[in-house]
Structure 1
Amino acid sequence: MAARSRFHSESRSHEPPDTFTLRRSKTYNLLVGRWKSFRRRRIILVLLAAWLLYLFFKHMPTDLPPISERYDHRYGRLHPGSRGPSGSESQEGLQSSDQSYEGPIKFYDLAKTLQEPVRTRDLKGNVLFAVSDLKSVLQLLPLACSMAQHNRTRVHLAFMGRHVAAWPEIRAANGIEDLGCQIYLHDARPDHAAQSSTSRLEVSASASLGHIHSAIRLHTVVTTEIEDDFFVNALRDKTSSLGVSLITLPPGSLQSLSWISSLDAASLSQFDKVQIDIVIQAQRESSASIMRLLRSIKDADYAGWTLPRLTIELPNNVDPFLARYLSNFRWPVNGAGSESRLVIRHRLDGRLMTPVQASLRTVESFYPVAASTSHLLLLSSNAELSSNYFQFLMYTLLEYGYSSQATGMVPHLAGISLDLPRYGPDLKTKAPSGEQSSKPFTLWQVPASTAVLYFGDRWVEFHTFLSYRLLLDPELTSKTKSAPILSHEYPAWLLPMLEMMQARGYYVLYPSFMDREGLSAVTIHSELPQFPEEYVAEKEDQTSDNGVPKINLAGDKALTADDEIARLMRQEQKLYGNSLITPLLEATVEQQGDDFSTARDFPLASFDGEKREWGDAWMLASQFAEEFAMSVGGCASYHADQEGNTVESLFCLAAT
């Protein structure tokens, strides 16, 4: 065994040197194995990193702004003076056919046009014409230019749609020169407008309108119904939250509503807030007259307006023919499925009313929801209206009831009449002739009952006045010495209305220009005259010796048969079918310049038709108020010059 071990030992000592690798083979193999494993992992990691880089570059966003400019996408941001991706070069990354872009909203061009002098604040006020569809430009641009030429408002036009508006080309195509159409243009489109989704454009329209309003304080926004629903809805919601008036012009309404270009911003700001209630009190045996009046109301032009609510008060005994007509009458006319604005009231008591009952019935027939914007249009059943009556009425109401230049006249106005009668309600006093006055309107201290609009706040005041009046004098028999006696051809409620007008210094605005021009917004038919119900019994009891009926006038004077024939032969005013506003505007420009600056531009007339000076109007009202308070109101004394006197101050209930 020792020899064998020695042999082996000697054999190992004589092996060549490279056999020593066998001795290091374990370490070598371990290192080599680790190296090979590391190379495989590195290759895998490199390949994975390359794949991730490929995915990153392939899907990397190309439209992200700098970090400092990123913000909540729900709000638009103005970038004054910066050039953004609204141009064609920056839109190459998105296909024009793709309208799904929902990125953050920015307005790159809007801030540049909201600088001075656009932001100058003055008494003119700012009106914005908002356009989304290029088709709307053709309808709105002439109206905007006309408004700018009247120079009563500062006019702006903002484009908020998808497509680029080539303003120079549009102006040239419409024949509008820079010097003749001073309109401030605003590009209120968001970035990537052509590729934006509908919801993004809706948010953009609301945001841009908010930016414009914060910069220039808008009074009114004007758009058209041919715009997309999302755009109109955005404007409606935003203007409502801002308290700005929104005028939505229906298709083809430019001719009917072209007169809005002559209004100032204060009038336009009330355009969508004004509400009208029509009240018709049908008398007995007046079916034909009522149907004629309803046909004229149905055929009138209401373009651009919310239809007035129509209330018809029927007597106890209704003609079957009228009942069938009313059962088929629709208001709105073509309002299938829409809310009806027709109210029918039927009286139960078949007995004739007394003057007090009739007065209460009329006054209680209307009470405004909002006294400053809700008004009453009272129509006689014998009236027939022109097709343009409502447009004329609304223009007159906005111009002389809400204009910033009519503030001196508004405190003196009780209402607006659609016609100028030839005589006052005493049938003795001649109305102020339109031929004697060069002014379009006359303020006459006479209440009307045939076709007249009474302001809501004045009607509320009349409610208070009559309620106090009845508490002190339930039969309305007490009168002042200077109170006129009204004909019984007119309803009984006119007398307390006249008393309130005289005590408070109120007047009705009568269109004297119509008398000069031979125009008429209303015709009062007299072929079948009917007395107010409260005076029918009195009329039947008053007959002459030969059985010919008489009609009582003021005092003891009676109207004979010859007088009645002359009244029936009197020529009725023919209705004017064309625009009544055009001749009114022509008369205004010709006689008074571009506008009515103060209330003193209008002539004043007393109940007796005598001309009054504006400086004497308050003194005369104070004198009558003192007389009324002491003779009818139960007061021992009355201080007319006391500041803050109201209609309640005319009555002293504690003294009764």
Structure 2
Amino acid sequence: MAARSRFLPGGRDYAKKDDDMPAHTQGSSTFGSWKSFRRRRVILAILALVLLYLFFKNMPTDLPPISQRYDRRYGHLYPPGPPGPHGWEGQELGGHGQDQDFNGPISFLHLAKSMRGKATTMDAKGHVLFAISRLESIPRILPAACSMAQHNRTRVHVAFMGRLSADWADIKAINGISEADCDVIIHDARPDFPAQSSITRMDVSARASLGHIHSVVQLRAVLVGDSEYEEEHFVRAVEDKTRAMGVSLIALPANGLGGLSWISSLDGAALGHFSQVHVDIVIQARPESAAALMRLLRSIKEADYSGLSLPRLTIELPPNVDPFLTNYLANFKWPPDGFGSESRLVIRHRIDMNFLSPVQASMRTIESFYPLMASESHVLMLSPDAELSPGYFQLLMYTLFEYRYSARRTDFTNRLMGISLELPSHAPDMSTESPWVASHLDQPLVLWQAPNSNAALYFGDRWIELHSFLLRRLMTDAELFKKLSSTPSISHTLPAWLQPVLEVMQVRGYYMMYPTLWASEQITAVTMHKELDQSPEEYRKEVEESADSSKKAPMLEFAEDQPLTANDEVERMKQKESLVYTGSLVEPLLDSIPLQQRRRSLTEVIPLLSYAGEKVAWEDSGTSSSKFAQEFAQTIGGCANYDAGKPENGNVESLFCLAAG
């Protein structure tokens, strides 16, 4: 059978019919078919040209490279490798129309490489981390990290967790930093494909990378810029993660470290307490002292608190308050620029119009503060006659972290009662000259066994001891009349609460730290104004009675051969006002203590001074306090026998032997 007939049934009949058709009919049919076919081809060609034109005209020009495109249906990128051949190379990603909504699984392709070798060395220095999310932040943060590494008291890490790439060699060269001057450990802590990652994915990445680094090196602190120059969501993620890890978070000011540059000199142990420490300021206003109090509050408001937690401010007002002061306090904002934030100002007003007795005044002052966290909450007692330097808080916090929380603090801190900002010319008895006046000491810091009420920070655990001591002291001697002969009297120009403080310092062997660097220059962190000098309320009645009796006394008459003295002028000289120092108070202190000396034991470089100003050897300091404690327990505490050397007698409660009930 012919091939045609196999595919076309009845093929022979068709052929026969074709043969029977006329010739002109055949030609006409062939021409018509050809004409129809040709018309279709033209139409299809025109349509194809139109489609090609529309395609090329509307072709997208902003697609990323093929290696960076991904299929949304499968939730992962193609290919699965990194976006560039090197972890720190690439273009500015995440902009120019690229989507940032990828939420796939996270991989850190380069983080494990940097967490080896010296990065994992564990020693007493401790590890700290600078976290960065924006490339623009690196030139501002890197110098601080390099400075901290130069002090060699911590192991410094820098982790970049943002979207962009960074060429660290170029950045160091631009900032004039050599490899030898900047011994920091750099981590590429970015996730894979940061350009397309959503904000949620970048947040999870920052938290996870922090967790990985902490699990290897046990961070003491994380330093991060605030939301002024870091991504706000990134700062929030770091805050949450450090809180969960129990690691201290240090917020770096947006305008640079400035007055906070001293943190570079701290060790890891001190930096580990940075975000946990809280300070309360307590001011007890006196009648007719509105102007002085307003001056003090103005100096507090204008001080430098950059990078630090603002202290809580408590003001205790007398029964009669000047209306002008009331109006001033009604408009006083604390925090000063904290619009809409929680106020940290506490105002208390006394009702009792009667003069307080010395016992009542002591109780009132000591009850004005009680720390919730004994080791991390402290109180700064300020006289309303004080005026503070703008750098007072930076100085206070530096000395607090360096000498209270540093790794070498153990023996030294056991002797510290607090830190004084004032350099008084005389001891609290107003007759004993201060050591820097009498002996012209050249050390920038000394420990002196004399309390201060004008401007001094008292540690929280010491204040708790003071509560316990005064409680039992009043149970054995309700009027605080009993005193040891070795305990100096407190002048009635100073508040009565200094007397139990001095007794605690003697029985426990505590000392106040005084920064004596500016003693000879009459420049200090605080100035005491005496133009409206008033005696404390608890001694006001006594002073007034003394004044009345002096009015009734006859006019003095001098014999011709009687020598006259200049005692009155000497007393006035004691009240000479120093100038408030407006510059940095920390930098001169750091300059006065060489780096090698700061690395030595503190007991070797800071002298101990008795109340009388005599030097006390550190190894002998415990002997004098034990002797005083034994005498105190037997004379005032009601104890028949007392051995200060027993372990159970290592607290103030053991000084009192109270009858049951």
Give 1:382's aligned residue: 385
What's the counterpart of residue 581 of structure 2?
A: 576
Note closer, same or farther for the CA distance 1:546–1:472 as it changes in structure 2 (3 Å cut): closer
Cα distance change, pair 596–548 in 1 and its aligned pair in 2 (3 A): farther
Residue of structure 2 in register with 1:626 after alignment = 630
The two structures have a TM-score, normalised by structure 1, of: 0.84
Identical columns (%): 53
Match of 1:125 in 2: 126
1:430 aligns with 2:433: yes
1:603 CA drift (Å): 0.7
Q: State the match for 2:255 in structure 1.
A: 252
User: Of residues 385, 394, 402 in structure 2, which corresponds to 1:399?
Assistant: 402
Give 1:276 shift.
0.6
User: CA–CA distance in 2 between the matches of 1:58 and 1:343?
Assistant: 56
The amino acid that maps onto 2:516 is: S
Equivalent residue for 2:644, pick from 633, 640, 645? 640
Q: Which residue of 1 aligns with 2:150?
A: 149
Give 1:564 shift: 4.7
1:241 has 2:254 as partner: no
Helix, strand or coil at the partner of 2:408: helix
Alignment-derived partner of residue 100 in structure 2 = 99
Matched residue pairs, number? Answer: 573
- Residues 1:303 and 2:306 are matched in the alignment: yes
1:478 paired residue number: 482
Q: Is the 8 A contact 1:548 1:561 kept in 2?
A: no
- Equivalent AA in structure 2 for residue 653 of structure 1: L
Output the amino acid matched with 2:608. L
Larger deviation, residues 301-310 vs 431-440: 431-440
Cα deviation, residue 138, structure 1: 1.8
Instruction: Give the Cα–Cα distance (whole angstroms) in 2 for the partners of residues 194 and 306 of structure 1.
Output: 35
Q: Is the 8 A contact 1:125 1:218 kept in 2?
A: yes
Deviation at 1:335, TM superposition (A): 2.0
SS of the equivalent of 1:464 reads helix
Shift of 1:84: 3.9
Displacement after TM superposition at 1:459 (Å)? 0.2
Q: Does the Cα contact within 8 Å between 1:126 and 1:217 map onto a contact in 2?
A: yes
Task: Give the whole-Å Cα distance in 1 for the aligned partners of 2:84 and 2:208.
Answer: 17
Aligned to 1:350: 353
1:504–1:249 CA distance, 2 compared to 1 (3 A): same
Q: Is 2:330 aligned against 1:341?
A: no
- Does 1:653 find its partner at 2:658? yes
Name the stretch that deviates more: 431-440 or 475-484. Answer: 431-440
Name the structure 2 match of 1:19.
Answer: none
Which residue number corresponds to residue 553 of structure 1? none
* One-letter identity of the residue aligned with 1:278: I
- SS of match in other structure, 2:273: coil
Alpha-carbon contact 2:525-2:580 (below 8 Å) kept: yes
Amino acid at match of 2:593: T
**In structure 2, C-alpha distance between the alignment counterparts of 1:391 and 1:363, rounded to whole Å:** 25
Secondary structure, counterpart of 1:654 in structure 2: coil
Distance change (3 Å), C-alpha of 1:84 and 1:423: same
Alpha-carbon deviation of 1:165?
1.2
**Following TM superposition, by how much is the alpha carbon of 1:406 offset from its aligned partner in structure 2, in angstroms?**
2.1
Shift in Å at residue 497 of structure 1? 0.8
Q: Give 3-state SS (helix, strand or coil) of 1:502's partner.
A: helix
TM-score (structure 2 length as normaliser): 0.83
Query: How far did residue 438 of structure 1 move?
Result: 3.4
Equivalent position SS for 1:514: coil
Residue 588 in structure 1 maps to residue 587 in structure 2: no
User: Residue 460 of structure 2 aligns with which residue?
Assistant: 456
TM-superposed CA distance for 1:85, in Å, is: 4.3
Distance 1:618 1:58, change over 3 A: closer
Distance 1:248 1:166, change over 3 A: same
Matches of 1:546 and 1:243, distance apart in 2: 64
For 2:552 and 2:516, the matched residues in 1 are separated by 37
Give the aligned partner of residue 604 of structure 1. Answer: 608
Gaps of 5+ in 2: 1-69, 554-563
Whether the aligned pair in 1 keeps the contact of 2:94 and 2:195 (CA below 8 Å) is no
1:66-86 Cα deviation digits (max 9, x unpaired): 9xxxxxxxxxxxxxxxx7445
Q: Which blocks of at least 5 consecutive residues in structure 1 are unaligned?
A: 1-55, 67-82, 550-559
1:64, distance to aligned residue in structure 2 (A): 7.1
Aligned to 1:316: 319
In the alignment, which of 352, 369, 373 is matched to residue 372 of structure 2? 369
Aligned to 2:415: 412
Partner of 2:198: 197
* 1-structure distance, mates of 2:256, 2:90: 38
In the alignment, which of 214, 227, 230 is matched to residue 227 of structure 1? 230
Q: Cα 1:62–1:501, aligned 2, differ >3 Å: closer, same or farther?
A: closer
The offset of 1:237, in angstroms, is 1.0
Q: What does the per-residue CA deviation read over 1:583-604, in whole Å, with 9 as the maximum and x for residues that have no partner?
A: 00011118x6243423232111
Correspondence 1:273 to 2:276:
yes
Q: Secondary structure at the match of 1:515?
A: coil
> Does the 8 Å contact 1:425/1:486 carry over to 2?
yes
2:184 aligns with: 183
Residues 563 and 280 (structure 1), Cα distance of their counterparts in 2 relative to 1, 3 Å cut:
farther
- Indicate how the Cα distance of structure 1 residues 60 and 267 shifts in structure 2: closer, same or farther if over 3 A, else same: closer
Whole-angstrom distance in 1 between the partners of 2:75 and 2:276: 48
Q: Could you tell me which amino acid in structure 2 is paired with residue 285 of structure 1?
A: E
Q: Deviations over 1:105-158 (max 9, x none)?
A: 001111011001210111111110000011211221111111011111111101
Secondary structure class of the residue paired with 1:311: strand
Q: Answer yes or no: is the 8 Å Cα contact 2:84–2:90 preserved in 1.
A: yes
2:328 corresponds to which of 325, 330, 334: 325
Residue 500 of structure 2 is matched in structure 1 by 496
C-alpha distance in 1 between matches for 2:585 and 2:147: 19
Q: Is the CA contact 2:94–2:163 (under 8 Å) kept in the aligned structure 1?
A: no
- Asked if residue 443 in structure 1 is aligned to residue 447 in structure 2, the reply is yes
Q: What is the distance in 1 between the residues matched to 2:398 and 2:589?
A: 10
Partners of 1:146 and 1:548 lie apart in 2 by 69
Partner of 2:31: none
Residue aligned with 1:180, SS: coil
Q: What letter is aligned with 1:582?
A: E
1:40-94 per-position Cα deviation (integer Å, ceiling 9, x unaligned)? xxxxxxxxxxxxxxxx99977774799xxxxxxxxxxxxxxxx7445489999x9
Which amino acid counterpart does residue 107 of structure 1 have in structure 2?
Answer: F
2:534 aligned with 1:530, yes or no?
A: yes
2:576 partner amino acid: Q
Deviation at 1:401, TM superposition (A): 0.7
Secondary structure in 1 aligned to 2:173?
A: helix
- CA contact 1:588–1:595 (8 Å) conserved in 2: no
User: 2-side partners of 1:320 and 1:95: how far apart?
Assistant: 59
SS of 1:653's equivalent in the other structure is coil
Relative distance call for 1:88 and 1:215 in structure 2 (3 A) is closer
Over residues 437-456 of structure 1, what are the superposed CA-to-partner deviations in whole Å (9 max), with x where a residue is unaligned?
A: 33221100111100000000
